């Protein structure tokens, strides 16, 4: 009897335990640049929270929302205005973002779970936490890189620069302009950064995208005194300095290819989403992680894809899906390149929110005209990414490992069906690769990493230029849009 009674109590306790996870508040982890708001100035700051149990294992189910209170005060001891946003990744981890509307001279970050404070909460910053509009550049690039914990120079930068050795613009500048001043096919801007001022002159008919290069340069110049430098930025999709040409030109491009020499910068898309984090752009590398509906287990085991008809293999994908309707939910959203074939590959589909891509387990990073600039977001969403081989790449592709972070497929996607079937049969392995892809993004492609990459690039590039840097009379000087009057002193204040 006694035994049965104990058994029943035991069952009961088991039931309670399985309903609600037991979080160990001290072992749970909090990390990220947002905890160092005085040192790392961004439009929106962020940090991560991960719940773990007493055995230090991640809690992935049956947990409650964390509670976060971030408050602070201004120099005049008024509460400072800020906005906090919690993104639940549905896997026991959270991203917390906060955006300041004014400089705080004191900030307290409290992260709790039920009645407990997590990890080392509260985090107190007894120092100015500036808004991004402050013009408070650090004097020296190396100390900026250190303060931001930017790490080593990315190998792709070193590798591409090695092709050029030293760069003397006196001998190359005119030749480059002559070669690429083709207003109908090339959009190119010549930039001079001198005394932390940005000057530019553009060539081409469609140069509106120069705003993306302007924006990152302006943002950087508020954070660090940029080294004087001179460069050309290609605003088009295709790299320009192709292998067949007589000369190699060190042109900055958003998309690289294995048959060109262009020096790769993070795409305008991921750069803008880093700068506009919690601003007017709703899709960014962090929001995509918090706006997915289901965990891996709840996602449909199909490959989901939407996009334009900008590549013949995208048409091939439609064909495949008709042969294997159980494996695919794919359609074209727009006909432009193959307008005559809409009857065959249509009908085009309604717009689908990017967040709902992740109602499905499998995603496809297939080229459009060049590399698919949605690749970072696909990886961030926690689904498994299939990536066709291609000569085109973004700044981070070389660091992705096949079958670790994504599943490679042939350029003509002839083995895609087979690979999807593998994923269905090996669900746990597929899930692991998907999680690794997401981890990669969180280690390499967050707003801080994108800003670091640009600083490394400009810094390394400036080192190989041997010609003097001077702005030209016919260049436009790009002003800061709304600089705030900020007290930039670096000094640590006395304890309050
Ligand atoms: C808990 O696990 C993390 C890694 O998962 C490790 O870094 C940390 O040291 C562990 N903590 C303890 C107290 O074992
Ligand atoms: C394909 O996906 C869309 C968007 O999630 C959904 O509305 C539609 O029902 C799906 N089609 C099929 C055949 O499952």
Q: Give residue limits of the domains in the chain.
A: 20-125, 141-274+448-478, 287-445
The CB of 329 under 6 Å from ligand 2? The reply is: yes
Is it the case that residue 496 has pLDDT exceeding 90?
no
Q: What is the chain's Cα-based Rg?
A: 25
Is it the case that residue 15 has pLDDT exceeding 80?
no
Question: With 0-12 CB in 10 A as exposed, 13-18 as middle and 19+ as buried, what is 114?
Answer: exposed
By alpha-carbon position, which residue is closest to atom 8 of ligand 1? 56
Distance 378 CA to ligand 2 centre (A): 18
The band of 428, judged by pLDDT with boundaries at 50, 70 and 90, is very high
The pLDDT mean for the chain works out to 92
By alpha-carbon position, which residue is closest to atom 3 of ligand 1? 56
The CB of 56 under 6 Å from ligand 1? The reply is: yes
Per-residue pLDDT reduced to its tens digit, 320-371: 999 999 999 999 998 888 888 888 888 888 888 999 999 999 999 999 999 9
Helix, strand and coil content of the chain, in percent to the nearest 5, comes to: 30, 25, 45
- All residues at 6 or more sequence positions from 24 whose CB lies less than 8 Å from its CB, including other chains: 52, 53, 54, 56
Contact 74, 105 (CB under 8 A): yes
Reference 349, options 328, 333, 360; nearest CA is: 333
Classify strands 328-334 and 300-308 as parallel, antiparallel or unpaired.
parallel
Q: What confidence score (pLDDT) does residue 492 get? A: 41
Is it the case that residue 457 has pLDDT exceeding 90?
yes
Distance 352 CA to ligand 2 centre (A): 10
Kind plus residue range of the DSSP H or E element containing 301:
strand 300-308
Distance 36 CA to ligand 1 centre (A): 22
Residue with tokens 């990390």: 31
Q: Lowest mean pLDDT: which of 278-282, 311-315, 478-482?
A: 278-282
The CB of 355 under 6 Å from ligand 2? The reply is: no
Atom of ligand 1 nearest to the CA of 52: 1
> Residue 88's beta-bridge partner residues?
94
Domain 20-125 has CATH 2.60.40.10: yes
Task: Specify the fold of 287-445.
Answer: Rossmann fold (3.40.50)
The CB of 241 under 6 Å from ligand 2? The reply is: no
pTM for the model stands at 0.92
- All residues at 6 or more sequence positions from 232 whose CB lies less than 8 Å from its CB, including other chains: 176, 180, 188, 189, 190, 191, 249, 250, 251, 252
Kind plus residue range of the DSSP H or E element containing 177:
helix 169-180
- DSSP, collapsed to helix, strand or coil, labels residue 266 as coil
The pick from 301, 329, 333, 351 for probing ligand 2's pocket by mutation, whose C-beta has the most ligand atoms within 8 angstroms, reads 329
The CB of 54 under 6 Å from ligand 1? The reply is: no
The pick from 23, 24, 56, 93 for probing ligand 1's pocket by mutation, whose C-beta has the most ligand atoms within 8 angstroms, reads 56
Q: What confidence score (pLDDT) does residue 61 get? A: 86
Reference 296, options 362, 391, 204; nearest CA is: 362
The CB of 356 under 6 Å from ligand 2? The reply is: yes
Contact 219, 451 (CB under 8 A): yes
Is it the case that residue 12 has pLDDT exceeding 50?
yes
């Amino acid at each position: 009897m006694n035994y049965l009674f104990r058994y029943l109590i035991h069952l009961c306790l088991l039931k309670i335990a399985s309903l609600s996870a037991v979080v160990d508040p001290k072992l749970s982890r909090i990390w990220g640049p947002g905890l160092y708001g005085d040192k790392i100035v961004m439009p929106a700051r962020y940090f991560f929270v991960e719940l773990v149990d007493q055995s230090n294992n991640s809690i992935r189910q049956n947990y409650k929302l964390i509670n976060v209170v971030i408050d602070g005060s201004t120099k005049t001891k008024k509460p400072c205005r800020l906005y906090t946003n919690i993104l639940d990744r549905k896997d026991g981890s959270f991203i917390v973002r906060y955006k300041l509307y004014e400089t705080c001279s004191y900030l307290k970050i409290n992260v709790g779970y039920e009645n407990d404070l997590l990890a080392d909460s509260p985090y107190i910053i007894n120092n100015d936490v500036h808004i991004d509009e402050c013009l408070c550049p650090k004097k020296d690039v190396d100390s900026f890189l250190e303060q931001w914990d930017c790490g080593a120079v990315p190998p792709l930068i070193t590798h591409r620069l090695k092709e050029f050795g030293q760069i003397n613009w006196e001998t190359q500048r005119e030749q480059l302009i002559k070669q690429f001043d083709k207003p109908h096919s090339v959009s190119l801007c010549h930039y001079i950064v001198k005394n932390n001022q940005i000057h530019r002159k553009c060539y081409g008919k469609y140069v509106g995208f120069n705003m993306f290069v302007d924006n990152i340069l302006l943002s950087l110049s508020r954070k660090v005194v940029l080294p004087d430098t001179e460069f050309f930025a290609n605003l088009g999709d295709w790299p320009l300095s192709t292998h067949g040409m007589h000369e190699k030109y060190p042109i900055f491009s958003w998309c690289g290819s294995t048959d060109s020499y262009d020096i790769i910068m993070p795409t305008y898309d991921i750069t803008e989403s880093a700068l506009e984090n919690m601003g007017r752009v709703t899709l960014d590398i962090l929001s995509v992680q918090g706006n997915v509906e289901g965990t891996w287990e709840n996602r449909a085991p199909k490959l989901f894809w939407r996009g334009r008809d900008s590549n013949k293999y995208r048409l091939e994908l439609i064909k495949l899906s008709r042969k294997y309707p159980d494996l695919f939910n794919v359609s074209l959203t727009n006909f432009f390149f193959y307008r005559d074939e809409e009857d065959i590959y249509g009908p085009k589909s309604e717009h689908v929110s990017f967040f709902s891509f992740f109602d499905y387990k499998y995603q496809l990073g297939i080229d459009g005209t060049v590399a698919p600039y949605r690749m970072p977001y696909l990886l961030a969403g926690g689904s498994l990414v299939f990536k066709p081989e291609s000569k085109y790449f973004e700044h981070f592709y070389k660091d992705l490992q096949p079958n670790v972070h994504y599943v490679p497929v042939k350029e003509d996607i002839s083995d895609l069906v087979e690979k999807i079937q593998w994923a269905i049969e090996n669900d746990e392995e597929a899930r692991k690769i998907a999680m690794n892809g997401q981890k990669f993004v969180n280690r390499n492609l967050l707003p801080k990493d994108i800003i670091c990459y640009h600083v490394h690039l400009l810094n390394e590039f400036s080192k190989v230029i041997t010609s003097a840097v001077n702005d030209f009379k016919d260049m436009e000087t790009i002003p800061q849009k709304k600089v705030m009057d900020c007290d930039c002193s670096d000094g640590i204040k006395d304890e309050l």
